[in-house]
Amino acid sequence: MTVKVAIAGASGRMGRMLVEAALADNQIELVAALDLPGSPFLGRDAADFLGRETGVPISSDIEAAFAVADALIDFTRPEGTLQHLAAARVAGKAMVIGTTGFEAAGKAAIAEAAKEIPVVFAPNMAVGVNAVFKVLEIAARILSSGYDVEVIEAHHRHKVDAPSGTALRMGEVVAKALGRDLEECAVYGREGVTGERPANQIGFATIRGGDVVGDHTVLFAGLGERIEITHKGSSRMPYATGALRAAHFLSGRGPGLYDMQDVLGLR
């Protein structure tokens, strides 16, 4: 079954990758592409950057996009995504949300909207990363005693939120498996005389620089050994193909808040 999709932020790095992936998927039809009002790309063909013509111009009209699309894929900024979510709710259409950096109120708004429309909301859409989430859950249960946990992530210089949504999700997965509350045991960076490391702490370290697509490592450090579980992204394409897989998952599905573990059948 062909799924008709609209793509938000179509002129951005991730938006262009989504457009390219959608055009390569014979079960996806790209029917709308969105950008901010005033963008210099408005009116251009969504695949102009590929030297192709799709007949889908980039627009800022979200209502028109939902009039023709089954689902919107959004990897933009929290404020824009929440506006699109409100429009999706009115239109009764599905959303795939890969945007990160939401505050608690934003996450609550997504959960509330998902009572009326189907939503896949995940900090990372890549299939490999979601396989790592499952591996981390198993590893944390095995290494539940005598191991300190640290999460190290690296991204390109343009990323605006830290730690990354993927790093935070890794921390949440490990904390849940260990029976801890991440809000209580997380520490984000260290400086000065910090004192001895508490046994139940989960530390986060953030690196920003260059064009790093996304590297994530969870370190379980014990006495005499270290276990490192790492995922390295060399392209944004896995995030795009994962998002399209999520759009397929939502086709014909009722209201609900889903993530990539649901999409991949890992529950």
CB burial of residue 165 (10 Å; 0-12, 13-18, 19+): middle
Active-site entry in 93, 134, 158, 159:
159
Active-site entry in 155, 216, 231, 248:
155
Task: Judge whether 159 counts as a catalytic residue.
Answer: yes
CB burial of residue 214 (10 Å; 0-12, 13-18, 19+): buried
SS3 61: coil
Q: What is the CA radius of gyration of the chain?
A: 19
Contact assessment for residue 150 and residue 218, using Cβ atoms and an 8 Å cutoff:
yes
Q: At residue 66, what are phi and psi to the nearest 5 degrees?
A: -70, -20
Task: Judge whether 155 counts as a catalytic residue.
Answer: yes
Q: Could you identify the residue written with the tokens 């064009």?
A: 211
Active site residues: 155, 159
